[in-house]
Amino acid sequence: MQILNYIILVQLCAFVTLWQKNTFQSNLKVKGLKLTLPVIHTKDVSKYLTRFGKFINDANLVSTLNPMHMTDNNLTAESKKKFVSEGFLLAFILITSLFFLWGVAHGMLDTLNKHFQNMLNLSKAQSGMIQFSVYTAYFLMALPAGYFMRRFGYKKGIILGLSLFSGGAFLIAGTTSFESFWIFLICLFIMGCGLTTLETAANPYTTKLGPKDSAERRINFSQSFNGLAWVVGPLIGLFIYGNNSNVAGEKLSSMILPYTVIGGVVLIVALIFVFTKLPEIKEEEISETSSADASGISAKPLSKQTHFVLGVVAQFCYVAAQTGVFSYLINFVTDANQEPHFAVEDGPYFLSIGFFLFMVGRMSGSYLMKTYKPTKLLAIYAAICCLLLPVVSIKAGWVSLISLYGVFFFMSIMFPTIFALGIKDLGPKTKKASSFIVMSIVGGAVFPPVMGLIADNYSMSVGFFAPIPFFIFILYYAWKGHIVKN
């Protein structure tokens, strides 16, 4: 797989070239402020990784169980309380960093709808094509990414994903002068292919880094850093909103710096993965000595695994609802027909508040799963979302806005919990099943344009009625649909 190394080398050269341009000097002037970019040394990275590892160890998260001999039979009561097996700590830290990286990309994405509506005079439905381009990549790239990883392993899959992610970001930075929405969508699609590959690898990989009983907690913990990144994304969006230009050829120039920096950081992380040895997790094999239980579940084709099939549908519903809610919060808080309503340039602040609550929900949800069953929490949270969305839609002033923020909080645990439940007890079919569940993220491509069309023809508040049926299905999945049938 030397081709991956060549791709990364080419991207590194592209990054250096872009950085040497006047726009990307290490000392940047933005509206009179001089910004000096810090120099990051390898020893500093090592120091912070050591501190993070010490935090995980002190928090009693690391199991002393030998990961090479990890089976359900030799899990002691003590080891089941941990969720990272000894020897997998570095892998867990690096994989968790990936959750943060793609969270930043998604957090920025949802600030761009209103930006393009203003800069290029697009309707809400047209701006929904931003999400369509990224989430269509999830649908088209998930299976190829899964096949790639079954052939070459998780590590090479992660490096491929980071390469595509970085390449897409550099293309966005390099093509803004065209002021073409369609060129931007193509670049986003390429970046989306990278995000797809990362999610196809990282989500199931995280569930395998410790005892099976703590898989839901482990993926929710990693996804908490994804939630933190969603807070950071809109703050980067503030730079885009605050440095607009109406000069022809420069209307989208405020996106150059953020996407160049993102591309460079992702490229550096890719190089770290190239030179870091990671354990390759082998999925459980079905043999003649396997238990009857394992043979009865894992040996069945995926199409007959009811909890998996319904998990794919539930994930489609969740991502559709999530993307619609995230994409149009800025439109909601800046709608002149709403009370209260705020200035467009302040929109990213409100989105960042929502993502902060989303992050808090994930972290608190991961903690609550130590005491309560993940399925019970999922059912309760889905039911609450069904109750809050009508309040959002009735134009009840601050009550509607607070209810919308409540939806952000209670959506938080849904993606990782559904993912973990959907791939449960699938043995050697886990990678393929993960690909299908990542494909279901295409719900995020289908729904935002529909929700935008409703908003264009009625009002933005009415548009928030649309996600309710999706949460009803998630409630059913948490109640009965997740059950693994022998």
What is the per-residue pLDDT across 225-278, written as a single tens digit (0 to 9) for each? 887 888 888 888 778 876 666 676 677 888 889 999 999 999 999 999 999 888
Q: How distant, in Å, are the alpha carbons of 154, 155, 249, 281 from that of 277?
A: 12, 9, 45, 12
CATH class of the domain defined by 2-22+88-282+290-481: mainly alpha
Residues of the chain with pLDDT under 50: 16-17, 19-43, 45-46, 48-49, 52, 55-80, 285-295
Task: Give, as one character, the DSSP assignment of residue 472.
Answer: H
List all residues 6 or more positions away from 418 whose beta carbon is below 8 Å from its beta carbon. Answer: 311, 314, 315, 318, 378, 437, 474, 477
3 state DSSP class of 299 = coil
Cα separation of 414 and 411, whole Å? Answer: 6
pTM tops 0.75: no
3-class DSSP state for residue 312? helix
Structure tokens at 162: 């980071």
**pLDDT at site 55:** 46
Span 146-198, pLDDT tens digits: 889 888 888 899 999 999 999 999 999 999 888 888 999 999 999 999 999 99
Number of other CB atoms surrounding residue 277 within 10 Å: 8
**pLDDT of the residue at 339:** 82
Task: Sort strands 27-30 and 33-36 into parallel, antiparallel or unpaired.
Answer: antiparallel
User: CA 381 to CA 317: how far, in whole Å?
Assistant: 14
Q: What is the pLDDT of residue 245?
A: 67
Query: Tokens 């690909």 correspond to what residue?
Result: 435
- Provide the percentage of residues in the chain whose pLDDT is more than 70: 77
Number of Cβ within 10 Å of residue 398's Cβ equals: 9
* Among 482, 359, 324, 327, residue whose Cα is nearest residue 417: 482
Phi, psi values for residue 270, rounded to 5°: -60, -40
- CB under 8 Å to 287, separation ≥6 — which residues? none
Q: What is the pLDDT at residue 386?
A: 97
3-state secondary structure of 342: coil
Asked if residue 420 lies in contact with residue 215, where contact means CB atoms within 8 angstroms, the answer is yes
Q: Cis omega before residue 301 (within 30°)?
A: no
Residue 63 is predicted with a pLDDT of: 42
